[in-house]
Structure 1
């Protein structure tokens, strides 16, 4: 399917995952911070999700990228285009590690990957699925131009779905 891209924004580098990223990813997934993403998850489930994020690049031509701060090189989270049997449509999703919220990283990373996906994958639409209590991420989605779509098929029962359209 081609190489996994690296995307650059003003403050971030969105880069392919590497093994050194897994411990922080697994710690996030094991924490209460992952509860709005079906967690907390045991280590083997986190490993399955991490490897799925990488495998999607080969299977679908999209997947997850790690969010790295250009200021200090720290990995602050992940952004991805998800699909496969667990997702009714291609989904834009993100997560930030503790201490990285409130700085606009999710909006900056999500916007860059959304634009990349709509253009490169030639999509007319893309969605984000949210736990109904995930107000902060829904606000990010709205900043990215997402509009609530109550007619969309949810990933999980009760999900709130936001839709993005190509311009």
Structure 2
């Protein structure tokens, strides 16, 4: 059985998902805020995506981690490495729950998981699939040092694909 890590940063604890995290994920994935992630989704589909995030750990040795604030323990979002038939390559993705944007949490969490994936799992590369209208995620991918890869396979032909490499 694959051990799911807990990662820490100065402000965050990245921990394995638990069932109690699903209501916040369902709220986000069924809302208009999910438009940049292929949504909004039905509750049934939201459950499937949540289970995918957990199953990736067993199937691929990586998956999603919830983002908790170290100071309060509040869960503010999720960061993950997605893979499987819906993702042409291993994807570094992030999302924040309402009211937690603009504080650097997504970048801090994504950078920590990216570094873990390159260092602990030895992954040679990761991509981030970003909706071309999601200017905040585009800016974050760039801050993380990712570069646009126009030749990368994509799940949605409209996505901008950002490539992360260990050298970044």
What's the TM-score, normalizing by structure 1?
0.98
* Separation (CA, whole Å) in 2 of partners of 1:65 and 1:44: 21
Deviation readout 1:53-92 (Å, 9 max, x if unpaired): 0011000000000000112111000000000001111000
Are positions 1:164 and 2:164 aligned together?
A: yes
Unaligned runs of 5+ in 1: none
Q: Distance in 2 between matches of 1:2 and 1:91?
A: 19
Q: What are the ranges of 5 or more consecutive residues in structure 2 without an aligned counterpart?
A: none
2:78 equivalent in structure 1: 78
Which runs of structure 2 are paired with 1:11-30 in the superposition (5 Å)?
11-30=11-30
CA distance in 2, matches of 1:88, 1:2: 22
SS in structure 2 at match of 1:98: coil
TM-score when normalising by structure 2: 0.97
* Residue 36 of structure 1: how far off its partner (Å): 0.5
Partner of 1:132: 132
Q: Structure 1 stretch 149-158 or stretch 100-109: which is displaced more? A: 149-158
Instruction: Give the CA deviation at 1:158.
Output: 1.1
SS in 2 for 1:127: strand
Shift of 1:8: 0.2
Question: What is the rounded CA distance, in whole Å, between the counterparts of 1:87 and 1:40 in structure 2?
Answer: 18
Q: CA deviation at 1:27?
A: 0.3
Q: C-alpha displacement at 1:103, in angstroms?
A: 0.2
Shift of 1:48: 0.3
- Displacement of 1:33: 0.6
- Which contiguous aligned blocks of 4+ residues in structure 1 show a shift greater than 4 angstroms? none
CA distance in 1, matches of 2:72, 2:150: 40
Post-superposition offset of 1:154: 1.2
1:154 counterpart residue number? 154
Aligned position for 1:40: 40
Q: Which SS does the other structure have where 2:109 is aligned?
A: helix
Partner of 1:63: 63
Q: CA deviation at 1:136?
A: 0.3
